[in-house]
Structure 1
Amino acid sequence: MSRIEGEFSYHVPGAGKECKTWYIVFGDLSSGRRPLVALHGGPGAVHTYLIPMSGLTTAHGIPLILYDQLGNGNSTHLPEKIGDTSFWTTDLFLDQLDALLKHFNIQDNYDLLGHSWGGMLASAHASLRQPTGLKHLVIVSSPADMKLWVEAANKLREMLPVDVKATLKKHEDAGTTHEKEYTEAVEVFYKRHLCLIDPLPSWMAETMQWLEKDPTVYGTMNGPSEFHITGSLKDWSIISDLHKITAPTLLINGLHDEAQDSVMYPFFKNIPKVKWVTFQNSSHTCHFEEPDKFVAVTSGFLRDQVHVVGR
């Protein structure tokens, strides 16, 4: 399987410097097969943990484009913008996605997959920008509304050991969420609902390391953890615009996912043509917790629209 890495420059208003998007392409974009662009989570994570999705390329010849969103990984970092909620916006990342599609000249014919925050971004792209070239949309383990996300996360948090819950509350109340004791308590939640594989696969470990090295985007838009949302996304919702999505859509989450059914349901209720699959042995990272099933379900959807429910 061929793979090509590269980068391109594009103008970002307010950045104060030239910005670059780094990407990696698995497979052959000239093969005649429709390419799949995958959006990583965070916000502020990196592409690395999505590399196992290249199984779609290996098994079915689907060209896959991964890239690092602005602010982390191999793309341009802007640590001087930490805390600047007027800069780190959903539109900023939608514009970066548009620039990527134009760079590869695929804006008239492409599929899009978003994982976690990437699914939020993908749903905004599909509903708010209504691109005519988007043929299939895949939303994996994503909330349609951040208040629903926090509600679901708090229910899962209540199931943690008593001492872990006490540690989390102590540091959140004191504003000391940067301390190691808090981080270690958060990891107990992550091992139950972010990734069930222990130790973490190298792809996921590298992603977490990037978040630690540059927390600019995650800290500004999300906050200290998956369930303590203090950033600019805390009131984000796309529910009122979901009916505008015209592309057939596949929803995926895991039974043990922090993206519980309650956070995914608005997608299912409001997107006109939609299918939903829950992986029974997965949490938030089903693409490497159940990789064969992920490849089979996703590739089948991208090839066939017959099974999509029309409303």
Structure 2
Amino acid sequence: MVETREGFSPYGESRTWYRVTGDLGSGRLPLVVAHGGPGCTHDYVDSFKDLAAGGRAVVHYDQIGNGRSTHLREKSPDFWTVNFFLGEMEALLAHLGIAGRYALLGQSWGGMLGAEHAVRQPAGLRGLIIANSPASMPLWVAGASKLRAELPAEVEETLDRHENAGTTDHPDYVAATDIFYARHVCRIQPYPAEVQRTFDAMADDPTVYHAMNGPNEFHVIGTLKDWSVIDRLPQIAVPALVLRGAHDEATEECVQPYLDMIADVRGHVFADSSHMPHVEERADCMRVVEGFLSGLESPPATGD
């Protein structure tokens, strides 16, 4: 049985809930997992704890505003910024005593946050995994528009009509959204329990998601709508692994800048996945990620 421990990391007047699976003192490179959203919880990326079976500590946390961390429903949209969440991550690394040596995996929005973290070249970052993440939100929206055009005509019409009317909480709109999600977010239906827990938590408190993103994955009207990291990607100085699913809402076009502009980068596409290969092709995803992390721990090859 792999040991686990939970706790809270202070950040200003708030607290960040975290869980460590495995032993941070094992000597293996610890992995920190940043969940998506913005506004999700750790639950749907819980499967990455599988990587602790080989002695690697895996850190999950709920970003503030979500899950088991402090909720701030009263905050206005301008409170929720990239810099706020970067500061939270840095506080967690310091609290756990791993700021000097760690790898970071960010899924979806977590990968956007991971890229923002990496371009600042933190001294302790040893490797970055960007999973199912866009390099810019305009590219994300352009890709989503193409995917929407492939939906049945009546579904796309329902989406357009309610978005134009501002009635995105209408049951017909929600049902049409679910059709897109079943194709491009998670193709396992019904959702596995850990994925459903995240969606339930977001429905209970959508403060962060609505402020930064919008009502759903493809109608982006929040504060992140113009976000891009493309021009700063050459500043990432650590090895990177970029993952996506063949049916992903993170389309090839919105992921490509990572592959083109990070100096030391490799990519992998999961043929039978959409936005959650860690759920849809769990074992294969863990194999790919562990292979990358093990490579970071291997000593460099030397010539004769």
TM-score (norm 2): 0.96
2:60 to 66, 74, 79: 66
CA distance in 2, matches of 1:99, 1:38: 15
Tell me, in whole angstroms, the C-alpha distance in 1 between the residues paired with 2:209 and 2:132.
17
Q: Which residue of 1 aligns with 2:14?
A: 19
Q: Which residue of 2 aligns with 1:5?
A: 6
Once the two structures are superposed, residues 27-72 of structure 1 have per-residue CA deviations (whole angstroms, 9 ceiling, x without a partner) of 11111111100000000000001111111112x2211000000101
Partner of 2:230: 239
User: Alignment partner of 2:106: what SS?
Assistant: strand
Q: Gaps spanning 5+ residues in structure 1: where?
A: 12-17
Query: Equivalents in 1 of 2:271, 2:61: separation in Å?
Result: 29
> Equivalent residue for 2:288?
297
- Unpaired segments ≥5 residues, structure 2: none
Aligned to 1:54: 49
Q: Deviations over 1:215-267 (max 9, x none)?
A: 10000000011111100000000001000000100000000000111111000
Secondary structure of the 2:123 match is coil
Q: Output the CA distance in 1 between the equivalents of 2:9 and 2:93.
A: 12
- Once the two structures are superposed, the pairs formed by residues 189-228 of structure 1 within 5 Å of their partners are 189-228=180-219
For residues 129-169 of structure 1, the C-alpha deviation after alignment (integer angstroms, 9 at most, x for no partner) is: 21010001000000000000000001000011111111111
Between the aligned partners of 1:227 and 1:198, the Cα distance in structure 2 is: 20
Structure 2: how far apart are the matches of 1:109 and 1:9? 20
Question: 1:121 aligned to 102, 113, 120, which one?
Answer: 113
| Structure 1 residue ranges (4+ consecutive) displaced by more than 4 angstroms after TM superposition | none
2:128 paired residue number: 137
2:176 equivalent to 1:185: yes
Q: 8 Å contact 2:10–2:91 — kept in the other structure? A: no
The answer to whether the aligner puts 1:34 opposite 2:45 as a matched pair is: no
Corresponding letter in the other structure for 2:92:
L
Q: Alpha carbon RMSD of aligned pairs, Å?
A: 1.2
Q: What TM-score, normalized to structure 1?
A: 0.94
Query: Could you tell me how far apart the structure 2 residues matched to 1:231 and 1:160 are?
Result: 24
Deviation at 1:292, TM superposition (A): 1.2
Q: Which residue of 1 aligns with 2:104?
A: 112
SS at match of 1:204: helix
Distance 2:123 2:44 in 1: 29
Percent identity, please: 48
How far, CA to CA, are the matches of 2:3 and 2:144 in structure 1? 39
